[in-house]
Structure 1
């Protein structure tokens, strides 16, 4: 026996059974099988067919740097987790090659086939932007060359996120500069609202100081109250939505006056303490604001003309709020380059004369701007590929079918499935009803078997309702005329809008499922607002009811994910489509009826309006369609 210290010890054998050799393409135990629709069931089936384990697959298809454990395959197999990363998708492709399955076999069975996650190294953007962009990236994004990745990201940001039109680019830039004055009476003051600091050039939302806030409250009460205060007169009343819009526009004007001239906004730099609604009685203030808007946009639009009409109405004799509030003159102080001491003295001496001058000035300026104003936002541009189709409604319907095609499993992903159903119903209701956004999002509902809300009560609420009609054996939508923006139109003649939804394309099944389970899943125990469409409640959500902005955003996201054809992923229903909101559906309906009938009157029935309004605003009746329709009539003579 050799006991020398230099003897090399014999290597010890590892304990346990030796691992099976890696077989790149194992033979299946059986050839015929019933293909399951679910990803987890399909993975389990093929693992059993080829007698594979999670440990074996980890060795066979995962790279050395892949952070995937053998337990990951077990979690996928049980349905506890699902592939969501670029690495996971690469492993799925390797499994398809190993088991001789068609490319994309597993990808098509995933409950979220339209979603993936990319890390910050691949897309150096803030997390919210990466999350929005992840829906629109191809599966092999991580393996593409950097130049190709940059091309895809640029296309997604330009076409899908922003919208690729000149107006969308302008709007995206403007939205980043928040400078508007916010008033407590409209509920617009946000937690981060503060004051401007002229020396730093930064902008942020401005909470109106108490005196200015009191003036805004008085204006709202004057225009919105059922009865005016004693001694005052007015012409017209603002509804809630109109009030929010007008106060937002006035807040933008006052905010621009306060904004620092050295910042991105390029405001005038008026001290916050000197701001009062009394400034709106001076032509110099309006001329500065008009010049500021022209410089910012590059030209005038109808918006400036309408703003001037609002300013003129505030100074109108007998009914103007400014004219009937002479106390505003007490808060005026000279502002260098804007209002002189003589202007302030004139306001104290004769407030009516100052209002007369501003009223004349505003009307003259409105006419001048109307003559040179240009269209910045073409309402038809985002949906032009749909309007140019032979059947615009049939083209838009493709988006609803795309939503259902990518809807995940309710059992595995109940919230995402409920959101897909809600998106489907939003679009389908829009296509069948032709309602404005306000009427659609405020639509109440009663489940089948429940008594309908009396029409008089709906009229008081100014809302419509979806309810089951036993007489027609179908879902009926009834909206009182008072709920419409154009309630005084000859279309209504004080009669309600009533339509029984057709039981076509699986609509009734989706309504039943949404009411039975999906709507409650979205509410997640929150207070039910009673409206048919509700938001997805999260920990930071305050209420389940949609407002104008959140409903628009929900519609826009649906179009981004399912409507716009993405050449890099192959997903999306319509090539050339751009993001848009629910208002464009009315254009689709009007154009469809015009193309089919050539009648402005029949098109007006589709969107509850008058033929004159259709001819001026809503219908896009292309000249070649008119010629083709006339030729069809004349050609019948030769065919006889």
Structure 2
């Protein structure tokens, strides 16, 4: 490598003879494991000229090129094995001055006159001014006086250095081996607080310091603030993209590079399987399905943003980002009319309807219809195995034909292997759209004009019948959908068990107490705000997400859309919050506490008997450092925004260059919660971090399961459990509470056993 460097970089300045001398000199440095001579942070050109036989002026002329080679030697030589014994013998010294330059090539290529800097210093007649260095003592005696156990890393290190009489220079001489490239200024930066250990080499020096001062192993290191692993230290993480490297870095042990290839692969496989993706069957199915996107999207409607890329192929089909299909203009107009019909405050003149859609319901229906149309449009020979309907032929009028639904339902059964409640919900949508007098499809006969023949699904006769008698087509579809709903309900199964990721929590005696361990893990892992302000703020945000969720049992929508009013400001009125359909976290001067105030209209089940048109109000308890965390988070909250506009919500995401705004949406909030569980919730046996062994990644909705199950196990009351999650006892029994027969028997036994316990004391 050094030969190539000299041949490529030095011929412009040095002669061939001088290049040969430099090659020999650099090769001898490597063979003897000798570092290049430096004075401070600069190469010692006079000494290098003496050792290599090249004039100082000539070396200075190529100083810029040589510095790269010298820095590479300083990095790599300490990593090499020790040199052979015969290479460490003292060589014959070279002559100096003009006589040296006149030597022939054989004499000029003589060995270097020293093997280490220390040997050169000992052989020199010059003596350094000042006091001589103190002798190195392996275990220096400590000051017998009392000392205080400090929690801060810089002050704790400085304290023990002072107790043992060490300066930064003396400590560096005592702990760093001669062949190691470790600067004493690094220890100075540790003591001053400007830097802290973050690499394997630094941790090894820290371990030696603990041994030198006879402290417990890990004592000083435990004072370090917890931060994410630096991806630069993972040199042996091969075949991994930069994005995945960042995700994996948090979950890999510090000695990852020192382990065998088999162990490293085992760790990576475990992290990918358990932490990154999760091991449930549904997660595996979902991960495979996401690789092939096929849905029809409607950019500009509701939350479906226009993410289209320029179509450079010249094809007529417009593709959205990720492989989805952008709806053609005619289909976009139809869907816009449907959304307006179901979401407008007043029904348009000439139309009738029963009920209206909220924003979340409309967004869900938009996605479900897009999936159905995308399956019809996908090519039969693609991984989706769709029907191959031409994109221009897509229209909402297809939803009125039983043959289309029959193909789609069978396609979903082949894809999943079973029927679920999802298909039932889609059929109920078809029932509502084709219902007499109030169905939107039935009231839109003009859709029949956009129908085209589709071999095997819609014939010319079907198109003619639809144009002549649209009501008859809707009647047939309504009858067919009513029959299919009953048949599928009979065989429908659960594909995604919502309890599976948190099963280890729900099976605990105190589910809430078990889940609370995650918040305790976060509070113990918050980095130093002075050194890592953004990372500390993100940890506080994760802590408050879980804490407020555990205290309130709110749904994700209410939690992420919650506004914030700082102390001293006037809170928003109930009317304004009702118009916004959002809640607010605010300081109550009457209660002298933080409270949540949410109008009933902001809830998904606003018409439920639980609310009775009354707002939801909850005073947060000042327990477990909650109020302190809120104060610290609100102070650090502007660090997330950068140049983005403040959304006024309490929880804001970290704004990146690609971020449109700081507000969370449904997907980003779910990912933020899931990331918190991955980092702090799941116990990692390779790093020792994480709160709960056996936990799997999950989203914020599972908190409602935890609260409902906890109250059921403690009280056995579905009604009290419904109070915790703002729902009805029937919904708790059907969806949230995991109250097994053995839990019921154990609760009853607590009452019955008191009789026997009382009799045994007589």
1:327-373 superposed Cα distances (whole Å, 9 cap, x missing partner)? 22122111223322222222222111111111222222222111111
The alpha carbon displacement at 1:476 in A equals: 1.6
Question: Which residue of structure 1 aligns with residue 565 of structure 2?
Answer: 446
The alpha carbon displacement at 1:110 in A equals: 2.7
Structure 1 residues 563 and 272, CA, compared in 2 at 3 Å: closer, same or farther? same
Aligned counterpart for 2:580 among listed residues 461, 471, 479: 461
The SS at the match of 2:587 is strand
Question: Which residue of structure 1 aligns with residue 223 of structure 2?
Answer: 109
1:501 paired to 2:620: yes
Report the number of matched residues: 636
CA distance in 2, matches of 1:10, 1:428: 67
1:593–1:603 contact (8 Å) kept in structure 2: yes
| TM-score when normalising by structure 1 | 0.92
1:139 paired to 2:254: yes
1:127 paired to 2:250: no
Aligned counterpart for 1:522 among listed residues 637, 640, 643: 640
1:133–1:156 contact (8 Å) kept in structure 2: yes
The alpha carbon displacement at 1:78 in A equals: 3.8
Unaligned runs of 5+ in 1: none
The SS at the match of 1:185 is coil
1:425–1:510 contact (8 Å) kept in structure 2: yes
The alpha carbon displacement at 1:430 in A equals: 0.8
Structure 1 residues 101 and 539, CA, compared in 2 at 3 Å: closer, same or farther? farther
Structure 1 residues 27 and 593, CA, compared in 2 at 3 Å: closer, same or farther? same
CA distance in 2, matches of 1:61, 1:267: 66
Structure 1 residues 408 and 285, CA, compared in 2 at 3 Å: closer, same or farther? same
1:234–1:320 contact (8 Å) kept in structure 2: yes
Unaligned runs of 5+ in 2: 1-94, 115-119
1:348 paired to 2:467: yes
1:136–1:156 contact (8 Å) kept in structure 2: yes
CA distance in 1, matches of 2:275, 2:550: 22
CA distance in 1, matches of 2:687, 2:393: 55
2:140–2:212 contact (8 Å) kept in structure 1: no
Considering Cα pairs closer than 8 Å and 6+ residues apart, tell me whether 1 or 2 has the greater RCO.
Answer: 1
The alpha carbon displacement at 1:609 in A equals: 1.2
1:548 paired to 2:663: no
1:203–1:263 contact (8 Å) kept in structure 2: no
Structure 1 residues 261 and 63, CA, compared in 2 at 3 Å: closer, same or farther? farther
CA distance in 2, matches of 1:63, 1:271: 74
The alpha carbon displacement at 1:403 in A equals: 0.4
2:137–2:174 contact (8 Å) kept in structure 1: no
CA distance in 1, matches of 2:308, 2:749: 62
Aligned counterpart for 1:597 among listed residues 689, 693, 715: 715
The alpha carbon displacement at 1:231 in A equals: 0.6
1:391 paired to 2:505: no
1:129-155 superposed Cα distances (whole Å, 9 cap, x missing partner)? 111111111111111111111111111
2:234–2:256 contact (8 Å) kept in structure 1: no
1:123–1:130 contact (8 Å) kept in structure 2: no
CA distance in 2, matches of 1:428, 1:10: 67
Structure 1 residues 577 and 240, CA, compared in 2 at 3 Å: closer, same or farther? same
Question: Which residue of structure 2 aligns with residue 186 of structure 1?
Answer: 302
Aligned counterpart for 1:205 among listed residues 324, 327, 335: 324
Aligned counterpart for 2:748 among listed residues 623, 627, 630: 630
CA distance in 1, matches of 2:103, 2:257: 55
CA distance in 2, matches of 1:524, 1:274: 46
1:479–1:496 contact (8 Å) kept in structure 2: yes
State the structure with more CA Rg: 2
2:718–2:729 contact (8 Å) kept in structure 1: yes
The SS at the match of 1:186 is coil
Question: Which residue of structure 2 aligns with residue 379 of structure 1?
Answer: 498
CA distance in 2, matches of 1:321, 1:28: 88
1:459–1:483 contact (8 Å) kept in structure 2: yes
The SS at the match of 2:301 is helix
Aligned counterpart for 1:430 among listed residues 540, 546, 549: 549
For the aligned residue pairs, the C-alpha RMSD in angstroms reads 3.1
